[in-house]
Amino acid sequence: MNERGLIEIIKSITKSRFIGDDCAYLKELGITVTQDSFVEGVHFSLDWMTPYQLGAKAIKVNISDILASGAEPVYCLVALSLPGNLGEGFVEEFYRGMQAGAASTVIEGIKPVEIAGGDLTGGDKVFISISMIGKVGKRNISSRRNAKPGYKIVLCGQHGSSAGGLRLLEQGRQDVNELVQAHFNPTLYPKFALTISDNIQTPYAMMDTSDGLGDALFKIAAASGVTICIDFEKIPYNKKIEIFSDWKNLVLFGGEDYGLVAALPEVYCCTTDGIVIGEVLEGGTAPLIVNYSGSIIKYNSVDEFTFNHFLH
């Protein structure tokens, strides 16, 4: 069982116009919406993360999806299920973390996301599911189907750090604190996202790199029927992950950095503070081509490098 196969089943039953992008754009209501879950033992361990860190990360992950749609994150609902023994202290710290996470992503002219309600239930394990609403206003909303040959690939955020931090945690190490902190407390890029969506006059693609940069690029290329070609050397990363022999895989395929990657006409690239790492070509046999300092690798699939929840 894998997520893609299940999503195909869901599409065939619901015949939904929306399933495909991380956010659904509900034009009639002028909003984009998303919902993401965090399951103890799958997405996090309470041995590693405090309730405060968990709250901050859970809300930021959803803010990131709304930003990637090009909308302004405005409201969220929070479903929290937790064992009775965790009690008031857990709830209090979790909500304080969410407030801090929401406040940390504020830029000029934008208010912090407001928690508008939710649901609190018992359960054997901690389960969190946050739904987030983004206001569209006059902004232009992205879709992963919108990349076109000739567009440039623009990226913001360092990549690989969060996956490196997670590996340290799994090894019982916290010796490279910057990487562990990148895993606990990702940086978001509201200015990058909203500068693009405020200004662009043409269809464009944008995704966050929550499942890895390579996965986001592959999904955009596949959904748009194009090939994306990037220079590995141009991807910003923290040199400390070079302690891992497979660090290049962490940079390209490690998840949970929550950078943003967009495919835009060249004329809009200079309006962002991102870095151009590649370009969009006509669709070929491989959706993703990576130039590693002259060695070219063509990826027909990225499945072996990405995370499958159902194997865990």
Chain residues in the site for its own copies (CB under 8 A): 1, 3, 5-7, 9-10, 13-14, 16-19, 21, 23-24, 26, 28-31, 33-37, 39, 41-43, 74-75, 77-79, 81, 84, 87-88, 91-92, 95-96, 98-99, 114-125, 127, 129, 131, 133, 135, 309-312
Judge residue 282's burial from the number of C-beta atoms within 10 Å of its C-beta, 0-12 exposed, 13-18 middle, 19 or more buried: exposed
> Least CB distance from residue 20 to its own copies, whole Å?
8
Q: What strand order describes the sheet that includes 275-282?
A: 205-208, 260-264, 152-156, 275-282, 226-231, 288-292, 295-299
Nearer to its own copies among residue 51 and residue 278 (C-beta): 51
Nearer to its own copies among residue 98 and residue 223 (C-beta): 98
Q: Which helix (H) or strand (E) holds 133?
A: strand 127-135
> Least CB distance from residue 29 to its own copies, whole Å?
6
Least Cα distance to 258 among 46, 105, 35, 107 occurs for 105
Q: In degrees rounded to 5, what are phi and psi of residue 220?
A: -65, -45
Nearer to its own copies among residue 9 and residue 245 (C-beta): 9
Nearer to its own copies among residue 2 and residue 174 (C-beta): 2
Backbone CA torsion sign across 150, 68, 210, 301 = negative
Alpha-carbon distances of 125 from 40, 42, 86, 233, rounded to whole Å = 6, 11, 10, 42
> Least CB distance from residue 46 to its own copies, whole Å?
14
Q: What is the dihedral of CA 139, 108, 209, 267, to 10 degrees?
A: 60
> Least CB distance from residue 45 to its own copies, whole Å?
13
d(CA 179, CA 256): 12
d(CA 106, CA 122): 32
Q: Which two tokens stand for residue 307?
A: 């995370």
Whether the Cβ atoms of residue 71 and residue 34 lie closer than 8 Å to each other: no
> Least CB distance from residue 2 to its own copies, whole Å?
10
> Least CB distance from residue 226 to its own copies, whole Å?
23
